[in-house]
Amino acid sequence: MAQRVPLHPERRRPGERLRRALGSRPALLLLMTLVLAALWLLADAQGVTAQRLLSLAVRGVLLGGILALGAIGLTLIFGVLRLPNFAHGDLMTWGAYLALFGLAWVPAGRPLAPFSFGPELLALLVVIVPLVGLTGYTLDRLVFRRLRARRVPPVILAMAALGGAFLLRSLVYLGWGADFRAFYTGRPRPAIELFAGIRVRPDQLFILGLALLLIFLVYLLLERSKMGKAMRATADNADLARISGIDTEGVVRWTWLIGGGLAGAGGVMYALDTQLRPEMGWWLMLPLFASVILGTIGNAYGALVGALIIGLVWQMSTAFLNPAYGPGVAFAVLIVVLLFRPQGIFGTPGARS
């Protein structure tokens, strides 16, 4: 398609030029850096030590890793299916509670020192990841696919996904009640010193390592495998994928298995780091969508970058804000991005999404 070229580019109004400059990629990255710097200065002014801030930054990266596991799936599902999956956070909750369920049945082994969990959690993880993927695919077969076939407007799809979220959360309430739970009640989880006085729990290092490993596996899948390339192609242009002979049903199945599976792993990791409660995933939805939009909708690598930025901003804001405002801070970042560069870091202006 021909691009619209202004007749007299030099005569653009100053306001318009400023808007364009603000909407450029370097400007957005600069803005994010400034936000982080401002958070740092604000915290510093309140007498928060640099050591504590560094610790928060490390925790931010960790949270970013967990968010990325959710955000990558969310962005892939949107890219391939044009479905804003509001049930994605609850798929994470679902994964965490499936792990809790499993732990009640399998015998607990000795903790794998220095971690707080035993080999049984790792074994459960191998089962839960495909199980949560399957849960997502089942929802698709029962609900979303029928709606797609009828070519309903996007808002109906969003409402259906919201319904899926309520369904999953109600199942969690029914099965486990509203109380806070933990995988291993009463086990000590001492923090160790990493460097420069920064203290983390060994579990958290495991979580970060696992998140990085899974993200690397997704990268390999998307770049090297035929199905991964077909997923990217379908996200680019679903009609062209169909007329090229791509098995779009297979692409949909794999997208759910991978996106849902990552969400399941993310949920288990989040629960291991904090605790379980039926609304844990629901409250991640805002940061997840913020990560996805920040990194350009449909772009898996963008979701990773977005999740890291949101995780950092969220954690650093707790230096001077009540941690309960974390998702609110993510929301503020989301609004800023939508105002100045709605296509996100990796998008092109005016691109179809």
315's tokens: 């954690």
Alpha helices by DSSP H, listed for the chain, are 14-22, 25-45, 50-81, 88-105, 119-139, 145-149, 154-176, 202-224, 226-236, 238-243, 248-273, 285-294, 300-317, 326-340
CB closer to other proteins, 300 vs 310: 300
Beta bridge partner(s), residue 276: 181
CB closer to other proteins, 127 vs 227: 227
CB closer to other proteins, 33 vs 244: 244
- Closest approach of Cβ 90 to other proteins, in Å? 29
* Cα–Cα nearest to 267, from 102, 107, 146, 41: 102
Helices 25-45, 50-81: crossing angle, 10 deg rounding: 150
The residues that touch other proteins, with contacts defined as CB under 8 A, are: 1-2, 226, 229-230, 232-233, 235-237, 239-248, 299, 348
CB closer to other proteins, 44 vs 247: 247
CB closer to other proteins, 109 vs 349: 349
- Closest approach of Cβ 292 to other proteins, in Å? 16
CB closer to other proteins, 298 vs 326: 298
- Closest approach of Cβ 251 to other proteins, in Å? 10
- Closest approach of Cβ 136 to other proteins, in Å? 24
Beta bridge partner(s), residue 198: 195
Phi and psi at 118, nearest 5°, equal -100, 180
Answer whether 67's CB lies under 8 Å from 288's CB: yes
- Closest approach of Cβ 2 to other proteins, in Å? 6
- Closest approach of Cβ 265 to other proteins, in Å? 25
Cα-Cα-Cα-Cα torsion 84, 87, 93, 98, nearest 10 degrees, comes to -120
